[in-house]
Amino acid sequence: MAIPTEKQPDTGIRQAVSHPLDPLTAEEIVEAANILKSQRRLGSRVRFETIVLREPGKPDVLSFQPGNSIRRDAFLVVLDNEEEATYEAVVSLNEGRVTDWNKVPGVQPRIMFDEFFECETLVRANPDFRAALAKRGISDPDLVMVDPWSAGYYGFADEEGRRLALTRNFLRSSPTDNGYARPIEGLSALVDLNKMEVMRIDDYGVVPLPPNPGNYAAEFVGEFRQDLKPLEITQPEGPSFTVDGHSVAWQKWHLRIGFTPREGLVLYNVGYEDQGRVRPILYRAALSDMVVPYGDPSKDHYRKNAFDAGEYGIGSLTNSLTLGCDCLGEIHYFDADLNTGRGGSFTIPNAVCMHEEDYGILWKHTDWRTGQVEVRRSRRLVISSIATVGNYEYGFFWYFYQDGTIQLEIKLTGIINTAGIAEGETPRHGTLVAPQLNAHVHQHFFNFRLDMSVDGEANTVLEVNTVAEPLGPDNPHGNAFYAEATPLKTEQEAQRVIDPMSGRYWLVSNPSVKNALGRPVGYKLMPGENILPFAHPGASIIQRAGFMTRHLWVTPYAPDELSATGPYPNQHPGGAGLPEYTRNDRKVENTDVVLWYTLGYHHVPRPEDWPISPVGYCGFSLKPVGFFDTNPVLDVPPSAHHNGACHA
């Protein structure tokens, strides 16, 4: 996780921008903040939550040609701690002026990086907090880890209108010790982040600290296994991809890389070159939000529901990736320039990693009569980023395959959230992972916004289920079954859940473009492992994260509908985002459609997940269905081996 440090540009000259979707540069971020500070006379207690590119309209992007003039607008969200108010602004960097400035009542922006540090310092110094520590035999507050969590919304009168964080606290035995091994159970602080003051200390009673350390770092392991031989990945002629700024081309794939502090990695203008032209598939794809609901109802654990994108900003918490550790092979990195809370800029070096991987067999057949063997090896392009959100790590890996498949895989690792438990007690809502150490049952829900453009903007979504033919004249032997496609015509019809027993998938079709067989071209969304939430329909978390209740949502494109939870989920009472977008049941047939796919990862912790979790996986795929006239990878050349090529 990058620690922001203020950076000012060396000169007033901005870096070259070659495309309307290029992210704001470090110079542009600072310039936008300075223009706003000057023209709106902002005070000293203003924090900048967001400074990002205000993306141009689709027509301007799709019609852009190299050499055209490029309009650069910045979108800003600012929090005035003095007024306890939130504002949105648009700054024209071309004109050097503020073109829009609006107060947004009743919302709380994301909790910013500098607020985490200030909150921890504040709580550690609080006399009541120190007294509660002393009651537990903790004499050195500097060894206490204070993790500020979003407080959620529960309708408590004393919390209305206040900007809050609820801290969870842990004790290190030394500065590099894993503090999550010793949760300070039953002690939390509620902090007003606008005033930066402790509202109250909640002490639910002393629970002894778990006795065992939970260290995993190399300095604590000591002896490592000795039987691992070197594995070298080399590309002596370099990688097969080409990069021009934020534009990438690889094996007939063309796309652009973007990055925002809330979403992290963004993909634009994804297309596949076929028969002499690049055919569009996706206009924009990114994580829209995610939430981690926990299942323990006791003390203040019921408030553990973190929206890691909408409340913290998954992009701001992105790691700098390291060759040979996070990424292996011939790597190209993309840096990310983001804003600090005070309107400066900072850079996350190597925020996005791109490389090629061998992926086994692409296709193969042996003709047993002639003995002829034809086999091709598969290669995929990997574009990835990894974020650290407190105790957890999330890796987001986009895979592009030679056959036109796109796959999104999430890799979950890091340290499970822990709670203390009395000796001899068996937890009901968690797992004992070490003596007196409880890891609560929880879930991770992710929603991805997929702005589809399958050979153009006018698309229709169909649900495809496999159906058993009833016994009768058309099925006398009882063996018949077929795939049945049903158009999803409105937003309400298009709120769907997975059904693996029917082989359910969703097909995005372009009725106006036909393949060689006279059928509409399409791409299908293939679900992977998934689940629904277990929280009661009336629970606060279901109201605030309504997207969890459906695996598929479909909406007509709207430029201001970017998040499944709405623009300001922090402390929002609920109903925003997809439930609100789809309320009017707009038509989604033969139009510019956006797919919102929700995937859930269900985690009942195991002792093997402690002290650090091996990677867990979840994801989905987009696969061509009649998009090509035939197998698009017949032209992949045979691979060479020591006796010649991989065919006989």
Do 95 and 142 sit in the same domain of this protein? no
80 catalytic residue (yes or no):
no
Write phi, then psi, for 114 (nearest 5 degrees): -70, -25
- Among residues 87, 268, 392, 523, which one is catalytic? 392
Q: Measure the N-to-C terminal CA separation of the chain; round to a whole number of Å.
A: 50
The answer as to whether 70 is a domain residue is yes
Give 441's Cβ-side CA count (13 Å radius): 14
Please give the pLDDT value at position 11. Answer: 37
Do 480 and 455 sit in the same domain of this protein? yes
Average pLDDT of the chain to the nearest whole number: 95
Do 177 and 94 sit in the same domain of this protein? no
Output the domain CATH number for residue 65.
Answer: 3.10.450.40
The answer as to whether 3 is a domain residue is no
Do 346 and 437 sit in the same domain of this protein? yes
CA distance 439 to 419: 6
The answer as to whether 394 is a domain residue is yes
Please give the pLDDT value at position 598. Answer: 98
Please give the pLDDT value at position 15. Answer: 63
Does residue 320 contact residue 343 with C-beta atoms inside 8 Å?
A: no
Give the pLDDT band of residue 16 (cuts 50, 70, 90). confident
CA distance 179 to 437: 12
Do 76 and 141 sit in the same domain of this protein? no
Final residue of a domain: which of 103, 127, 146?
Answer: 103
Task: Say if residue 8's pLDDT is above 50.
Answer: no
CA distance 192 to 10: 37
The answer as to whether 108 is a domain residue is no
Beta strands in 94-184 (DSSP E): 97-103, 144-150, 164-171
The answer as to whether 17 is a domain residue is no
Give the residue-averaged pLDDT of 429-448: 98
Total domains present in the chain: 3
Do 210 and 250 sit in the same domain of this protein? no
The answer as to whether 14 is a domain residue is no
Please give the pLDDT value at position 10. Answer: 40
Do 169 and 253 sit in the same domain of this protein? no
The answer as to whether 10 is a domain residue is no
Do 338 and 260 sit in the same domain of this protein? yes
Do 272 and 409 sit in the same domain of this protein? yes
359 catalytic residue (yes or no):
no
Encode pLDDT of 46-81 as tens digits: 999 999 999 999 999 999 999 999 999 999 999 999
Encode pLDDT of 165-224 as tens digits: 999 999 999 999 999 999 999 999 999 999 999 999 999 999 999 999 999 999 999 899
Residue 611: cis peptide before it, omega within 30 degrees of 0: yes
Please give the pLDDT value at position 644. Answer: 59
Does residue 267 contact residue 543 with C-beta atoms inside 8 Å?
A: no
Output the domain CATH number for residue 399.
Answer: 2.70.98.20
Please give the pLDDT value at position 452. Answer: 98
- Among residues 147, 177, 192, 308, which one is catalytic? 308
Give the pLDDT band of residue 639 (cuts 50, 70, 90). confident
Roughly what angle, to the nearest 10 degrees, separates helices 127-135 and 113-125?
A: 70
Task: Say if residue 4's pLDDT is above 70.
Answer: no
Which comes out higher in pLDDT, residue 12 or 365?
365
Do 138 and 259 sit in the same domain of this protein? no
Encode pLDDT of 271-329 as tens digits: 999 999 999 999 999 999 999 999 999 999 999 999 999 999 999 999 999 988 999 99
The answer as to whether 383 is a domain residue is yes
Give the residue-averaged pLDDT of 95-105: 98
Please give the pLDDT value at position 465. Answer: 98
Give the pLDDT band of residue 352 (cuts 50, 70, 90). very high
Burial 399-412 (b: 16+ CB within 10 A, else e): bbbbbbbbbbbbbb
Domain that holds residue 525: 242-645
Distances (CA, A) of 476 to 107, 465, 473, 480: 63, 22, 5, 9
Final residue of a domain: which of 103, 122, 143?
Answer: 103
Give the pLDDT band of residue 643 (cuts 50, 70, 90). low
Distances (CA, A) of 35 to 25, 99, 591: 15, 11, 39
Task: Say if residue 355's pLDDT is above 80.
Answer: yes
Final residue of a domain: which of 76, 103, 130?
Answer: 103
Do 90 and 177 sit in the same domain of this protein? no
Do 162 and 61 sit in the same domain of this protein? no
Query: How are strands ordered across the β-sheet holding 164-171?
Result: 144-150, 164-171, 187-192, 197-203
DSSP per residue over 402-426, as a string? TTS-EEEEEEEEE---EEE--TT--
Please give the pLDDT value at position 647. Answer: 61
Q: What percent of the chain has pLDDT over 90?
A: 94
